[in-house]
């Protein structure tokens, strides 16, 4: 639902259309790199033009959050239990979350269970990412890369981005 909230706001915010290559770059950078390595820019363009209609929503979602990203929380756990606020890391996390949301929406696959669990406490503050190198629950095991952020931290980002966007609309 948080992803849907951002998508709704992003649809009002950005009407600009992107080229197929720009959409591929934002949605599937690894695929773009492989295509470029094996066939060059022309292959990137050909493939992007074939699959462009499946990629625009991801870019709009990520661009919106990056444009209106709130500052990091004031009270944070120790460094190892924080999510980086670096744009590259936020972008990677948003892409993974959007992928999980698409899998849930179109493939009936649940988000990784640890993402939805209450955070542990570190230095008196809730962790923003799972503690340790892996997490197991409900018969499954997830490595840290599978769970880039915990639900309450994503909620902080979504809420902050929506409020910042809403404030930007004030034209008085």
Query: What are the mean pLDDT values of the chain's consecutive 10-residue runs (172 residues total)?
Result: 91 76 82 92 90 77 95 94 95 93 86 86 92 83 88 96 92 64
Look at residue 78 and tell me if it is in a domain: yes
d(CA 114, CA 50): 36
Query: What confidence score (pLDDT) does residue 141 get?
Result: 86
Look at residue 123 and tell me if it is in a domain: no
Look at residue 84 and tell me if it is in a domain: yes
Look at residue 94 and tell me if it is in a domain: yes
Look at residue 128 and tell me if it is in a domain: no
Query: What confidence score (pLDDT) does residue 132 get?
Result: 82
For residue 23, what are the domain limits?
A: 2-112+151-167
Calculate the alpha carbon distances from 139 to 131, 133, 136, 145 in Å.
18, 17, 7, 18
Query: What confidence score (pLDDT) does residue 66 get?
Result: 96
The total number of structural domains in the chain stands at: 1
Look at residue 102 and tell me if it is in a domain: yes
Look at residue 97 and tell me if it is in a domain: yes
Kindly provide the residue ranges of all beta strands, DSSP E only, lying in the chain, ordered along the sequence. 121-122, 125-126, 134-137, 140-143
């Amino acid at each position: 639902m948080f992803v849907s909230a951002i998508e709704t706001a992003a649809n009002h915010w950005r009407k600009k259309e992107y080229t197929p290559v720009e959409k591929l770059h934002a949605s599937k950078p690894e695929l773009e790199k492989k295509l470029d390595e094996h066939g060059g820019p022309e292959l990137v363009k050909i493939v992007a033009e074939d699959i462009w209609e499946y990629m625009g929503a991801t870019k709009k979602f990520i661009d919106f959050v990056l444009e209106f990203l709130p500052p990091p929380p004031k009270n944070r756990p120790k460094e190892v239990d924080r999510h980086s606020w670096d744009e590259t890391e936020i972008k990677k996390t948003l892409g993974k979350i959007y992928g999980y949301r698409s899998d849930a929406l179109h493939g009936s696959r649940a988000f990784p269970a640890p993402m939805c669990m209450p955070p542990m406490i570190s230095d008196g503050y809730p962790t923003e990412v799972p503690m340790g190198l892996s997490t197991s629950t409900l018969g499954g095991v997830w490595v840290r890369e599978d769970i880039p952020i915990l639900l309450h931290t994503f909620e902080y980002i979504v809420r902050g981005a929506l409020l910042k966007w809403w404030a930007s609309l004030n034209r008085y």
